[in-house]
Amino acid sequence: VEGIEGQAVAHFHNSAGFLGPFVGGGTFTGGWHTFAADWEPGSVTYYYDGTEIASATSGITSAPMYLVLDLALSTTITSPNTVPATMQVDYVRVWQH
């Protein structure tokens, strides 16, 4: 999930570049939120605060993947960047089906 123009947006990248849905699932306001990606053979399902917001069934790889937690700023988005900015992460949990 990325924050783009104030929205929590779900998508993924692989060696072919950007793939997957580009769906806004909510905002980052109002306190703590949960984000999840359920990656199974042939599909990835994204959740925002426990609610499914998007899924992808094409371009899904079986290659090892990794998580990225960052506070990057982009010059390609039309809305202005806001700095200073902070990101607070309470925990990250990963498990295998």
Q: Residue 11 is which amino acid?
A: H
- pLDDT tens-digit readout, 46-65: 888 898 888 888 888 888 87
Which pTM does this prediction carry? 0.73
- Residue 33 CB-density burial (10 A; 0-12 exposed, 13-18 middle, 19+ buried): middle
Residue 21 exposure: Cα atoms within 13 Å on the Cβ side: 19
pLDDT digits (tens, 9 = 90+) for 30-51: 788 888 889 898 888 888 889 8
* pLDDT for the residue numbered 13: 72
Q: Rounded to whole angstroms, how far apart are CA atoms 67 and 36?
A: 11
The pair of three-digit structure tokens given for residue 9, joined into one six-digit string: 């947006």
What's the pLDDT at 31?
A: 81
